[in-house]
Amino acid sequence: MSEVTALTDAQLTMSNAPHLRQVRTSAWIMQQVILALMLPTIGALYFFGWRVLVMIVVAIGSCVLSEYLFQKLTKRQITIKDYSAVVTGLLLALSLPVSAPIWTIILGSGFAIIFIKQLFGGIGRNWFNPAVGARIMLSVFFGEYVSGWVEPGEAVDATSQATPLGVVANDRADAVSTATYVDAEMPNLVDMFLGTGVGGNIGETSKLLIILALVYLIARQIIDPFIPFLFILPVAVITLVTSGFDLEFMMQHLLSGALIFAATFMITDYSSSPFTPHGKIAFAIGAGILTVLFRYYSDYSGGVGFAILIMNACVPLLDKYLPPRIYGHKKRPI
C-alpha cells in the first residue's frame, strides 16, 4: 500500500474552534422526550384501552401534518423532522380524557401547531406551551366534550365521574355549591399514585409512570431536577400549611390532576420557559403558587394549565430582569 496517509494528501478543514461538538442534537433530545412519554402512554393503553392508540395516532398525525402544511403554504423550511410536533401531539393526546371526540383532538392539534407554535415563529420561539394552550382552549370552548372524566374500564359514553381533584376542590369549598361532586369518593393515595381505578386524562393518572419518566429525563440530563421540584414545592408547602399540616390533604393535592405530569413535561418545556437560571426558578415557583390559587379559588379544575400559561406569558419579563450576573460585574446586565 502506498503512503496514502501523508499530511499533504489530507483535506484539512480550516473552520474555527471549538473543533468538536457534543454528540447530542436537538432532534435527539426530542426523541428522548418521546421515549419518556412512552411510559405514561403505556399506562394509558393499559388503563383506558385501545381508544388511546387512536387518540395518539390522530394527535401526532394532525400535529405533524399541520406543521408540514403550514410551512409548505408559507414557504418556510419544513421542520417536522425535529420531532417537536410529535412531542406536542403526544402531550396533547395524553392530557385529554378517553372520552374526548376525535374532532377535538384534530382541532386542538391544529390550534397548538399553527396558532401557538408557528405563528410565533416556530420551534424555540413560541411563548406558550402548544399542548397546554390547546388543552386550555379545548376546555374553555368545548368543555363539555373534553372534561368528562372517565374511569378506566368504562365505556366511552358512560356517565362522568368525579376526578380526585374534583373531590379535593370539594373538600376545600364546602360552602360553595359544588353539587356535582357531592357523592364522589376520594380514591385512596395508593390508587392515586399507581393510577389504578382512577379517572382523569389518559396520560396523567399513573403518577408512578410519570415519575419514572421524570427520572429518565433527569438521568439523561435533558431536564434539570430543580425545575419540577421548585414547581411542586410551593404546592406542597401551601397545601400543608393551609390545611393545618394535614399530610394526607397535601398528598391528595400532589397526586391529583395534572400536577406531576405538568412538572415533568410542561414546566420543563424549553421553548415556553425562561432561558436564565434565576428566571427558571421564578417561573417554576410562580407556576406552583398559581396552581394552588387556581385550585383553591376557582371552580375550574385544570388550574395547572392556566398557571403554566400565565407564567409562559411572564417569560420575556423574567428573562429580561433576571439575567445571570456576569463574572467580575457587580450588577446583572439588565
Partner 1 sequence: MFAIFSKLKWKKEGAYTVERKDRTEHRRIEDASVPSELVYPLTMHIGAPASPVVNVGDTVKIGTLIAEKNGAISANTYSSVSGEVIEIGSRPTVHGEAPCIIIKNDFQDQRDAPLYANDEELDPQKKLEIIAKAGIVGMGGATFPTRVKLSPPKDKPIDTIIINGAECEPYATADHRLMVEYAEQLIEGIRVLQEIIPVEKVYIAIESNAHESVAVMNKAIADSEHIEIKELETIYPQGSEKNLIKKITKREVSPGQLPADVQTIVINVATTYAVYEAVRLGKPLTKRITTVSGQPLKEPKNLWVRIGTPIESLIEDCGGFQSMPGKMIHGGPMMGRPLNSGRVPVGKGTTTVTFLAEEEAEIDQRSPCIKCSECLNVCPVSLQPIMISNAYEKGNLKKAEKLGALDCIECGACSYICPSKIPILENIQKAKKAIRSSKEGA
Nearer to partner 1, 221 or 298 (CB): 221
Judged by CB under 8 A, the stretch of 46-54, 253-261, 305-313, 318-326 that binds partner 1 is 318-326
Reference 258, options 186, 174, 168, 197; nearest CA is: 168
Contacts with 327 (C-beta within 8 Å, 6 or more apart), sequence order: none
Q: Least CB distance from residue 213 to partner 1, whole Å?
A: 18
Judged by CB under 8 A, the chain residues 85 through 144 that form the site for partner 1 are 122-124
For the CB of residue 263, give the shortest distance to partner 1 in the complex, in Å. 17
Count the residues of the shown chain that bind partner 1, applying the rule CB under 8 A.
50
Smallest distance from partner 1 to CB 276, Å: 6
Task: Name the minimum Å distance from CB 120 to partner 1.
Answer: 12
Among 78, 298, 317, 325, binds partner 1 (CB under 8 A): 325
165 within 8 A of 295, measured Cβ to Cβ: yes
How far separated are the first and last CA of the chain, in Å rounded? 63
Residue burial 236-249, b: 16+ Cβ < 10 Å; e: rest: bebbbeebeeeeeb
Q: Which of 42, 53, 69, 79 binds partner 1 (CB under 8 A)?
A: 79
Q: What single letter denotes the amino acid at residue 210?
A: I
**Would you state the cell numbers that stand for residue 284, as one nine-digit string?**
417554576
Among 1, 2, 20, 244, binds partner 1 (CB under 8 A): 20
68 sits near partner 1 (criterion: CB under 8 A)? no
Which positions from 23 to 42 touch partner 1 by CB under 8 A, shown as an x/- string? -xxxxxx-------------
Q: Please tell me the distance from the alpha carbon of residue 241 to that of residue 292, in angstroms, as a whole number.
A: 12
Q: Show the CA angle centred on residue 109, arms to residues 77 and 265, nearest 5°.
A: 90
Closest separation in Å from C-beta 217 to partner 1: 12
Is residue 22 a contact residue for partner 1 (CB under 8 A)? yes
d(CA 61, CA 37) in angstroms, rounded, equals 16
Determine, following the binding rule CB under 8 A, whether residue 75 of this chain makes contact with partner 1: no
CA atoms within 13 A on the CB side of 77: 6
Q: Which of residues 273-292 bind partner 1 (CB under 8 A)?
A: 273-277, 280
What lies within 8 Å, CB to CB, of 158 at 6+ separation is 150, 151
Cα angle 179, 234, 306 (rounded to 5 degrees) comes to 55
Piece of the chain touching partner 1 by CB under 8 A; list 130-138, 153-161, 254-262, 268-276? 268-276
Q: In the window 212-251, what residues touch partner 1 (CB under 8 A)?
A: 224-226
Determine if 1 is a binding residue for partner 1 (CB under 8 A).
no
Q: Does 73 bind partner 1 (CB under 8 A)?
A: no
Q: Which of 18, 75, 144, 244 binds partner 1 (CB under 8 A)?
A: 18
Burial class (CB in 10 A: 0-12, 13-18, 19+), 155: exposed
User: Is the distance from CB of 261 to CB of 228 less than 8 angstroms?
Assistant: no
By the criterion CB under 8 A, which residues form the site for partner 1?
4-22, 24-29, 79, 82, 84, 122-124, 224-226, 270-271, 273-277, 280, 323-329, 333
